[in-house]
């Protein structure tokens, strides 16, 4: 039965609108908002689910990967059928989200976020939300957000703990104020060494969605400038005030105006994928591959399957697999050595 206290077109959000921080006007702002979710793995899928249920008007989801069985422990939008179907996460997520809320316009994009496309993805949205698993892309998002003057929400999760921080370009501390530079090898924990708990993902994603709702409803004034640090195992939640960090850091990005990642000055064409025994290879120049033609060419090499979104080649011996995307990007499974992965790519895909 409809709740007569609210407009009929917003009735499904009645419990959300009863909350004083949202209300009818806040819900209308949420419905009018355009949001970019970068990455649709553990954090990204939970964030996309929360924003869809909250009624965000337009949701663009960009992710480079496909669903695997080991994802299901913590990536809430996917199931075993998605694994069997062999489709990219962005496409699988959009299919599920469309059944949850048909009133949300969904724009799933299968791509690796890089310096050549980030401004296109972020240029027409009101808010950027972090669902990534690596600092290189987060620093790129930070550069793009500063360049476009778009607010964004940084978040990360490993083991049982995570952190979340809202960033308002020109007004608050940015990611480089907080961290300075991408941590070097061995300087931080990874999911390979520390693992990750599903409940930790859920809490961090919930904090991200809550911040997103606050920003979309009330803007900068509704949000406190702090870094939230959680540990679900202890459990504990701390809010660290960072109001003076920008002035104290002489930040290369938001104070000095440098855009090192956005200009492509800091980039790698190979990326080791956390916890996957896999390496992503991205060609220096994007291609446009006909996957059916590539499948025919590789048919004698090993077991080949393909669909609209990707091609898979199981190499003889079963220990290595190539997943190739239409833009020439590939994920080489069965090694975490970028040199080996580039050699496999060159041998079977091309230079």
Task: Tell me the per-residue pLDDT of 93-135, one tens digit each, with 9 for 90 and over.
Answer: 999 999 999 999 999 999 999 999 999 999 999 999 999 988 8
Question: Tokens 């909350």 — which residue?
Answer: 19
| Cα–Cα distance, 316 to 5 (Å, whole number) | 65
Crossing angle of helices 89-100/42-54, nearest 10°? 20
Beta bridge partners of 100: none
Nearest 10 degrees: Cα torsion 154, 157, 161, 164: 10
| Cα–Cα distance, 13 to 27 (Å, whole number) | 8
Mean pLDDT of the chain: 91
Confidence of residue 32 (pLDDT cuts 50, 70, 90): very high
**Which pLDDT score is estimated for 300?**
86
Confidence of residue 188 (pLDDT cuts 50, 70, 90): low
CATH topology of domain 270-348: TATA-Binding Protein (3.30.310)
Q: What is the largest CA-CA distance in the chain?
A: 66
As a whole number, mean pLDDT of residues 215-225 equals 89
pTM, two decimal places: 0.88
Return the CATH number of the domain spanning residue range 33-249: 3.40.50.720
Task: Tell me the per-residue pLDDT of 264-307, one tens digit each, with 9 for 90 and over.
Answer: 877 666 677 766 788 988 877 777 889 999 999 888 888 999 98
**Which pLDDT score is estimated for 246?**
81
Nearest to 143 by CA among 167, 171, 109, 108: 167
Joined together, the tokens standing for residue 342 give 């580039």
pLDDT above 70: percentage of residues in the chain: 95
More confident residue, 243 or 30: 30
CB 341 within 8 A of CB 281: yes
Instruction: Give yes or no on whether 33-249 and 270-348 have one common fold.
Output: no
HEC-encoded secondary structure of the chain: CCCCCCCHHHHHHHHHHHCCCCHHHHHHHHHHCEEEEECCCHHHHHHHHHHHHHCCCEEEEEECCECCHHHHHCCCCCCHHHHHHCCEHHHHHHHHHHHHCCCCEEEEEECCCCCCCHHHHHCCCCEEEECCCCHHHHHHHHHHHHHHCCCEEEEEEEECEEEEEEECCCCCCCHHHHHCCCCCCCCCCCHHHHCECHHHHHHHHHHHHHHHHHHHHHCHHHCCCEEEEEECCCCEEEEEECCCHHHHHCCCCCCCCCCCCCCCCCCCCEEEECCCCEEEECCCCCCCCCHHHHHHHHCCCCEEEECCCCEEEECCCCCCEEEECCCCCEEEECCCCHHHHHHHHHHHCCC
Which residues fall within 8 angstroms of residue 76, CB to CB, at 6 or more apart? 45, 46, 49, 202
CB 130 within 8 A of CB 119: no
Break the chain into its structural domains and give their ranges: 33-249, 270-348
Joined together, the tokens standing for residue 291 give 């996957």
**Which pLDDT score is estimated for 214?**
97
CB 145 within 8 A of CB 128: yes
| Cα–Cα distance, 143 to 189 (Å, whole number) | 24
Query: Is pLDDT above 70 for 81?
Result: yes
Query: Is pLDDT above 80 for 186?
Result: no
């Amino acid at each position: 039965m409809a709740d007569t206290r609210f407009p009929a077109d917003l009735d499904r959000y009645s419990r959300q609108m009863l909350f004083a921080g949202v209300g009818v006007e806040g819900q209308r702002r949420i419905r009018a908002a355009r949001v970019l979710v970068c990455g649709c793995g553990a954090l990204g899928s939970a964030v996309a689910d929360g924003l869809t249920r909250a009624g965000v008007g337009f949701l663009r989801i960009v992710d480079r990967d496909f669903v695997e069985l080991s994802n299901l422990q913590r990536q809430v939008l996917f199931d075993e059928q998605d694994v069997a179907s062999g489709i990219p996460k962005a496409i699988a997520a959009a299919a599920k989200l469309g059944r949850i809320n048909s009133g949300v316009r969904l724009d799933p994009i299968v791509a690796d976020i890089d310096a050549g496309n980030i401004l296109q993805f972020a240029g027409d949205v009101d808010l950027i939300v972090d669902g990534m698993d690596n600092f290189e892309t987060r620093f790129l998002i930070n550069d793009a957000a500063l360049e476009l003057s778009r607010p964004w929400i940084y978040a990360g999760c490993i083991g049982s703990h995570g952190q979340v921080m809202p960033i308002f370009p020109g007004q608050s501390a940015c990611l480089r104020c907080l961290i300075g530079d991408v941590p070097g090898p061995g300087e931080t924990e990874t999911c390979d060494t520390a693992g990750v708990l599903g409940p930790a993902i859920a809490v961090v994603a919930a904090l991200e969605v809550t911040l997103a709702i606050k920003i979309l409803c009330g803007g900068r004034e509704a949000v406190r400038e702090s870094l939230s640090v959680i540990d679900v195992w202890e459990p504990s939640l701390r809010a660290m005030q960072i109001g003076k960090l920008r002035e104290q850091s002489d930040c290369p990005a938001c104070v000095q105006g440098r855009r090192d990642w956005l200009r492509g000055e800091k980039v790698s064409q190979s990326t080791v994928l956390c916890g996957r025994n896999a390496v992503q290879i991205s060609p220096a120049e994007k291609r446009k591959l006909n996957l059916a033609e590539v499948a025919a060419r590789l048919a004698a090499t090993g077991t080949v399957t393909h669909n609209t979104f990707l091609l898979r080649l199981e190499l003889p011996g079963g220990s290595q697999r190539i997943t190739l995307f239409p833009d020439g990007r590939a994920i080489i499974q069965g090694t975490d050595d970028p040199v080996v992965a580039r050699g496999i790519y060159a041998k079977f895909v091309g230079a």
